[in-house]
Amino acid sequence: VELRQLEHFVAVAAELNFSRAAQQIHVVQSALSVSVGRLEKELGTKLFDRSKRQIALTPAGEVFLQQARDVIHTAQRARSSVEGYREQLTGTVTLGTLMSWGTLNLPAALQEFRQLHPLVTVRLRQSLTGSAGHLDAIADGKMDLALVSISSSSSSLLAFRQLTEEPMVFVCQHGHPLARRRRVQLSDLDGQDFIDFPQGWGIRRRLDAGFSAAGVHPVNAYEVADYAIAAELIRHQLAATVLPISAANRFPDLHTVALHPQMTWTLSLVSAARETTSRAIKALVDTITRHVDG
C-alpha cells in the first residue's frame, strides 16, 4: 500500500464523489479510480459501495478511513520534521576571543545562538599573540571570526565590524603617587613602573603608539598576558597599568584615574573578506552584534 493510494482514498471518502475528489487533489478522474481500485484489490475488500448513484463507504471502508488518516498525518509530521532539520543551520564556527569584551555580553550571545542553532558547534580560541594572532589565523583560513581590539588593517583579506569603543583608564593601588590626581597625563607615567602586555595585543599597540607620540618612556617592569595577574601585581604595589574601563571595573578594589588626553579601546568583529560566507557564520555575527550594550 502506497501513501499516495491512501491520500486518494481519503479524498474520495471526503467527497463521496470521484469527480469532485479528482478536482480537489488535481488528478485525472480515471487515474484516481484506478488508484482506489488497486488499493481495494491489495486489501482484498471493497472500500466503497458503488451500487447506488451516490457512492458510500462500506463498513470496511469506514474502519479503514481513520487508519488511513492516521498514517497520512504521521507521514506529514515525519516529512515536516525532516524539512525542519534540513532548514536548520549545521557546521562549526571557530571564534577567536580576547581577555575582555567591553560592553559585549559574549556568554549571553553564545547562549542565544545555541538555543537558536543547536546543530552548530562554536569553538572558542584564544591567541598568545592577541589580536594580531587572530588576524593572521583568519587571513590564513584557520579561523572564521575573531573579536579583536584593532579597528582596521592594511590587509584586503580582512573585513572589520566595530562593535564598541570605550575609554581607557590608569589603574593603580590606592597609595600610588598618582592616585590622588583627577586626571593622569601620559607624561606623568614617564619613568614609572608600568605593567605592559604582549606584543600583538591590541592594547599594547595602542599604548605603544600613545607613549611614542607623547615621548614617554615608562619602565616596563612587568609584561603579563592576563588582566587578573596585572591586578594582583598592582595590589602588591609593584606597578600600575592602563586598561579599558570595562576591564578595570572588574577589580573594584583598585583605583582608577581618567587619562588626559583620552585614549580609547575598540572592540571589533573581524572575518575574512570574501563574497560568500556560510549561513552559520552570518547567524553568529548577527547574534553577537545584538548583544552589544550601549
Domain residue ranges in the chain: 3-87, 91-164+266-290, 166-265
Per-residue pLDDT, averaged over 225-236, amounts to 97
Higher per-residue pLDDT: 16 or 293: 16
- Give the CATH H-level superfamily of domain 91-164+266-290: Periplasmic binding protein-like II (3.40.190.10)
Nearest Cα neighbor of 220 from 248, 202, 239 is 239
Phi/psi for 142 (5° steps) reads -95, -10
What's the rounded Cα separation, in Å, for the pair 234 and 176?
9
**Around Cβ 237, how many Cβ atoms within 10 Å?**
13
Q: 93: number of CA atoms within 13 Å, CB side?
A: 26
Nearest Cα neighbor of 20 from 7, 30, 11, 10 is 11
Phi/psi for 163 (5° steps) reads -100, -45
Percent of the residues in the chain that have a pLDDT greater than 70, as a whole number: 97
Q: Supply angle C-alpha 67, 2, 13, rounded to 5.
A: 50
Cα separation of the two ends of the chain: 62
CA 272 to the chain's CA centroid: 16
Evaluate whether 91-164+266-290 and 166-265 have a shared fold: yes
Per-residue pLDDT, averaged over 210-227, amounts to 92
User: What is the per-residue pLDDT across 166-177, written as a single tens digit (0 to 9) for each?
Assistant: 999 999 999 999
User: What is the per-residue pLDDT across 75-102, written as a single tens digit (0 to 9) for each?
Assistant: 888 877 666 566 788 899 999 999 899 9
Q: Say which CATH topology domain 166-265 has.
A: D-Maltodextrin-Binding Protein; domain 2 (3.40.190)
Q: Which residues contact 216 (CB under 8 A, 6 or more apart)?
A: 186, 187, 189, 190, 210
Nearest Cα neighbor of 14 from 39, 22, 28, 35 is 22
Phi/psi for 55 (5° steps) reads -65, 160
Q: Say which CATH topology domain 3-87 has.
A: Arc Repressor Mutant, subunit A (1.10.10)
User: What is the per-residue pLDDT across 255-291, written as a single tens digit (0 to 9) for each?
Assistant: 999 999 899 999 999 999 876 789 999 999 999 999 9
CA 175 to the chain's CA centroid: 44
Q: 142: number of CA atoms within 13 Å, CB side?
A: 10
Please say if the pLDDT value at position 244 is more than 90. Answer: yes
Residue 157: pLDDT band with limits 50, 70, 90: confident
pTM of the full structure: 0.70
* pLDDT given at position 101: 94
Instruction: Report the SS3 class of residue 289.
Output: helix
Alpha helical stretches, state H, 26-181: 29-43, 59-87, 106-116, 130-139
Residue 133: pLDDT band with limits 50, 70, 90: very high
